[in-house]
Amino acid sequence: MIEEKIKQKLEILAQIEDLENQVQQQLKDLRKQKTLQCKHCNTHEQIQNISVIQTLWYTPPSGCIEGGYWNDGELNYICTTCNVRNRLLFQRTKKEIEEASKDFRDWDGYRNKKKEFQFSLLYKPLFKEIIDIKDKDLPGSFVNNDMLDFEVL
């Protein structure tokens, strides 16, 4: 009797897992089709068609065992229309940062940092490709693309 109840519950759990996988796949498809807008020429491009650049910055060696490795920095992409590099920043304007810093809690700052993290986590794998470039090797001309209106779903 108890075994039968456990079997039923396991079946329900399996159905929920199936449903969750379906929803996750739908979310991925939706995210891939979202567009980024170039801050230089205003062209929209779908995430699935963009080669994203993962910038890398170096922690130099210190002592015997520390440092000597590369860290993930920003996500950038080069607009295929105007060839200008867009830095995806999720940062606020200088004025907004000054306003937020007046408030010791700075919830906005926290939320924006979190948004950048979420974007990297959820969207980075969905770009056409990921190209690692060390920050000293980045191509010269760029624009800051503050992704303030981008809804991380």
The nearer residue to Zn ion, 40 or 92, going by C-beta atoms, is 40
116-135: contacts with Zn ion (CB under 5 A): none
Q: Which stretch binds Zn ion (CB under 5 A): 18-26, 55-63, 71-79, 115-123?
A: 71-79
* Cα–Cα distance measured from residue 77 to residue 81, given in angstroms and rounded to the nearest whole number: 12
Contact call for residue 88 and Zn ion (CB under 5 A): no
Contact call for residue 41 and Zn ion (CB under 5 A): yes
The residue within the footprint of Zn ion, chosen from 8, 35, 71, 81 (CB under 5 A), is: 81
The residue within the footprint of Zn ion, chosen from 28, 32, 34, 40 (CB under 5 A), is: 40
The nearer residue to Zn ion, 25 or 81, going by C-beta atoms, is 81
Contact call for residue 50 and Zn ion (CB under 5 A): no
Reduce the DSSP state of residue 57 to 3 states and report it.
Answer: strand
Count of residues binding Zn ion (CB under 5 A)?
7
Contact call for residue 144 and Zn ion (CB under 5 A): no
In sequence order, what DSSP letters do the residues of 10-37 get, joined into one string? HHHHHHHHHHHHHHHHHHHHHHHH-EEE
Of 69, 38, 41, which Cα lies nearest the Cα of 56?
69
The two three-digit tokens of residue 19, written as one number: 């449903």
The two three-digit tokens of residue 58, written as one number: 């170096």
Residue found under tokens 């209106």: 149
Contact call for residue 143 and Zn ion (CB under 5 A): no
Give the number of other CB atoms < 10 A from CB of residue 52. 21
* Interface residue list for Zn ion (CB under 5 A): 38, 40-41, 43, 79, 81-82
